[in-house]
Structure 1
Amino acid sequence: MVAFHASALDGVARNSALPTPLLLRLLAFERDGDRPPRDALQRAGIPESAVALILAHPNPGSRIDFAMSARAEPAQRARLTDDPSPKVRAALAYGPEVYDPRAKVAPLPDTVCARLLDDPDPSVRTAMLESPHLAPSFVASMATHHRAAARREAVRAWEALSAGERSALLADPDPEVRRAAALQECRRDVHVTAELLRDPKSAAEALRRGLLFRTDAERCVAERTHLAALAENPSLPPDLVERLAVNPDEDVRLAVSLRPELDETRRMGIDFTAGDLDRGEGVRWVRDGLAEPEVLRRAASSAHPLLQRAAAWSPHLPPDLLRLLARVEDPVVENLLGIHHPDAPEEVLMRVFARLGGTFSAWMAETHPRFPREGLAARYADHLDGNYRRLAVRDPAATPELIERLSRDPVVWTRQAAARDPRLPLHRLREALLVPELASSAGANPALPEDEMAAVLDRAGVPA
């Protein structure tokens, strides 16, 4: 198979205008260990006839790709629950790999998860427990499971468990389950915290989150044990907070400066240093409250850079706080707003685009709902930087002549963006199919005629 034919085939596989007969032809492809392109297996809105082909495909790699599709309906993927290959079942259990922080993956039905959790193959059971896509209801249901690993994961749903389920987990025969349960319960029980402090494996986390006896807190300060963790503890007495605020360890002082109860004067009076690249994800009280208006207001209105950054993770910032953070001269805050907030101002998005460049900028420009479109051709078609010339393709007013010109741009990313655009004149689109670095983009162009798509399949050796 010639290299650019394979590239064009990948483009056709993800072409939004690909007719169902050609999709079915692609999905039936199987020769010398080859399998259909992943983009054909992970398309959105796959018709039932295509799903049936995938489920019966002889190459398990094809079924694995479908099992991990973020675009397939959970009910469609769930039909692989009884697949003969444990690798396919493990892929189904773990679920899609998602790289877009704004994307949401619908979980498999609880009944399907329960079957996978009891799968005879241990790799399937492990994948199920490690999946980031489990429904909260299923996580809670594992509290009474016969396997200790499942009960340990159920602890994540602590607040949703009944009092009886919590008590059972705290007295579980497995020590790891008991430890995980105690680390949840210690937030409200000083005796549980005291017990955890005797265990080196749990002492630091218990100091960070547990309800403390004053004597235990004083002993840790005197012994200088896990002070940075202790400095985060919500129950730490005020006088001990003040002692840690002047501790010689920078990490300890920084942890104190992030405590939620401090007023702004006291907070900014602490001698702390925030890392230039620290994105604030370690500020737990903010990260746990990204949907709570009062938490967001306290964090976003602070002058502390890590609290501002922690608030910028939230897609729920109200308009006034979004405007406030958009004025902060902190590139980390801007980057986080550009990634996570659907209403990030255009000027912020453009600054992030200019600063980060490359693949990330392309992703943001193509996926962010507020990224500008109008006027880009006039502003950037002749820009010295090809990364900006690529933006001209986004402009609805860009002419076919401009798109064709940009398809010959010196920068490959700009050429590829133009090759994907349906305004590209047909003669140039046909030429681009034969250019190795443009073939994939041209194959994905929704203006590509059906006979040209079929010709790509023919050249790639896909049987009719």
Structure 2
Amino acid sequence: MVAFHASALDGVARNPALPTPLLLRLLASGADGDRPPRDVLHRPGLPGPAVELILAHPHPGARIGFATSARAEPAQRARLADDPSPKVRAALAHGPEVYEPRTKVAPLPDAACARLLDDPDPSVREALLESPHLAPSFVASMATHHRGAARREAVRAWPALSAGERSALLADPDPEVRRAAELQECRRDARMTAALLRDPKSAAGALRRGLLDRAVAERCVAERTHLAALAENPSLPADLVERLAVDPDEAVRLAVSLRPELDETRRMAVDFTAGDLDRGNGVWWVRDGLADPEVVRRAATSAHPLLRRAAARIPHLPSDLLRLLARVEDPVVDNLLGIHHPDAPEEVLMRVFARLGGTFSAWMAETHPRFPREGLATRYANHPDGNHRRLAVRDPAATPELIERLSHDPVVRTRQAATLDPRLPLHRLREALLVPELASSAGANPALPEDEMAAVLDRAGVPA
């Protein structure tokens, strides 16, 4: 019964219909040393009394759970910046771990970030500088910070920095800060590029983006110095580009094939091989040019698979380019459209679902705004594959009788999907609470009566 209690309790914790009194009861359950269920801490739109309970909770795990919630308001999470536990402050500083590409995390207010950046515990400061959720304005503000690590991170905001701030970073007393700044400035300074090439730590980066004198470029080609990086360099003379286009190294030829100045005829004349799983996220000029419609169009209409894949990652593709990419016979393009594009056509989503199955397909079916719903019961209720039978639960026209039948399906994921559906007859929902692999889904079903939710808390030993 213990496993049943824990599983059902987890379901109730994420039940969208959980009444506030039971929510507060769950949150207070850790007062004697236990952490409340994670799904309670990560619920969207927690009421004020619940937030206050969490912020004052004696178990640091409760406060850590709230600090890492992608659904909590930044101003609410920011109140943990003065938490007595450095583990809580470090969790807040780094922010939520986001596994769903379409989930956007609002950054903490700059004032809270400033306090965390000057935290007495180094683990908190490091966590903040490693956070992927910092506001661009705060990143730029670190250019004048008294800690070198902060100034080094500020270099990432190079285009937004003033001329004075750039000059100061180029003359910074910290060599790591200077190197990071020089790798930005060398794009327009050939002498700085040449100096960076003498440092093994910066040579590849300087060759990839730095402004090159012809003599330096010829020497690097002759000495085969970081040729794949050199092949990306925008200032590489055209005749050296042609030489690298026939280099024996496959990685060098691939880098040449992705150069932005090549027309389609020249690009596809390069003998390159694109990896079957390469998603094209390393094509810098597409990544850096997302605001330029011409860049987006060139990538999407290219015959180069990595350019098409880079374009498929763009969530604001014009409709004609979206339709074009939807017709490309490339599973990676399909996957990327399904992950990143809110308007991906239904046929693309269904191809991805049929091909991949498992957790990814379930996530996409549940979260993608264009994933189909109508007609799925007729098409898939009797499908030989359980992954497809689960789709029938999504159909608004599915009857309670069908939902109940699918709650007995041989495939556990299909049974769980049916058990989670509010159309499941109440007698079967109560029965499912006693089935270990269905108890969590039954507990999360919004049709579960309040007294049944309270009974789950009672049986799990949650204090009243």
Q: Distance in 1 between matches of 2:374 and 2:106?
A: 34
Please list, as runs of the form range in 1=range in 2, the aligned pairs for 1:299-338 lying within 5 A after superposition. Answer: 299-338=299-338
Question: Which digits, 9 at most, give the CA deviation of each residue in 1:382-431, with x for residues without a partner?
Answer: 00000000000000000000000000000000000001000000000001
Are 2:241 and 2:256, in contact at CA under 8 Å, matched by a contact in 1?
yes
- 1:187: how far off? 1.0
Instruction: Give the SS at the match of 1:30.
Output: helix
Name the % identity: 88
Q: Shift of the alpha carbon at 1:442?
A: 0.6
8 Å Cα contact 1:290-1:313 kept in structure 2? no
CA contact (8 A) 1:204 1:226 kept: yes
| Deviation sequence 1:317-365 (CA, Å, 0-9, x none) | 1001001111110111111111100111100000000111100000000
- Equivalent residue for 1:261? 261
SS at match of 1:364: helix
Post-superposition offset of 1:287: 1.6
Secondary structure (helix, strand or coil) at the match of 1:28 reads helix
TM-score by length of 1: 0.99
Offset at 1:33?
Answer: 3.4
- State the Cα RMSD in Å: 0.8
* Counterpart for residue 224 of structure 1: 224
**Which residue does 1:24 correspond to in 2?**
24
Q: Which residue of structure 1 lines up, in the alignment, with residue 179 of structure 2?
A: 179
CA distance in structure 1 between the aligned counterparts of 2:293 and 2:119, rounded to whole angstroms: 43
Q: Give the TM-score normalised by the residue count of structure 2.
A: 0.99
Name 1:54's counterpart in structure 2.
54
1:216 CA drift (Å): 0.6
CA contact (8 A) 1:342 1:370 kept: yes
Tell me the CA shift for residue 32 of structure 1.
5.9
Equivalent AA in structure 2 for residue 99 of structure 1: Y
- 1:397 — aligned with what? 397
Distance 1:431 1:33 in 2: 32
**Alpha-carbon distance in structure 2 between the residues aligned to 1:333 and 1:22:** 45
Distance 1:253 1:189 in 2: 26
Alignment of 1:235-384 (within 5 A): 235-384=235-384
Alpha-carbon distance in 1 for matches of 2:187, 2:117: 30
SS at match of 1:232: coil
Residues 291 and 316 of structure 1 are in contact (CA less than 8 Å); yes or no, is this contact kept in structure 2?
A: no
Q: In the TM superposition, what is the alpha-carbon distance from 1:291 to its structure 2 partner?
A: 3.5
Counterpart-to-counterpart distance in 1, 2:318 and 2:252: 32
Look up the equivalent residue of 1:364 and give its one-letter code. Answer: M
Higher mean C-alpha displacement, 185-194 vs 431-440: 185-194
Between 1:285-294 and 1:73-82, the stretch displaced more is: 285-294
Q: Contact conserved, 1:291 with 1:314, CA < 8 A, in 2?
A: no
Alpha-carbon distance, 1:455 to partner = 0.4
- Give the structure 1 partner of residue 148 of structure 2: 148
Deviation (angstroms), 1:288: 1.7
Runs of at least 4 residues off by over 3 Å: none
Instruction: Determine the C-alpha separation between the residues in 2 that align with 1:341 and 1:34.
Output: 41
Amino acid in structure 1 at the alignment position of 2:403: I
How many correspondences in the alignment? 464
Q: Which amino acid aligns with 1:239?
A: D
Q: Tell me which residue corresponds to 2:208.
A: 208
Q: Does the CA-based 8 Å contact 2:277-2:332 persist in structure 1?
A: yes
Q: Structure 2: 5+ residue runs without aligned partners?
A: none
Instruction: State how far apart, in whole Å, the 2-side matches of 1:431 and 1:248 are.
Output: 66
Does 1:67 find its partner at 2:40? Answer: no
- Once the two structures are superposed, the pairs formed by residues 186-197 of structure 1 within 5 Å of their partners are 186-197=186-197
Q: Equivalents in 2 of 1:93, 1:260: separation in Å?
A: 38
How many angstroms apart in 2 are the aligned matches of 1:103 and 1:409?
32
* C-alpha contact (below 8 Å) 2:116/2:128 kept by paired residues: yes
Amino acid at match of 1:24: L
Matched with 2:86 is 86
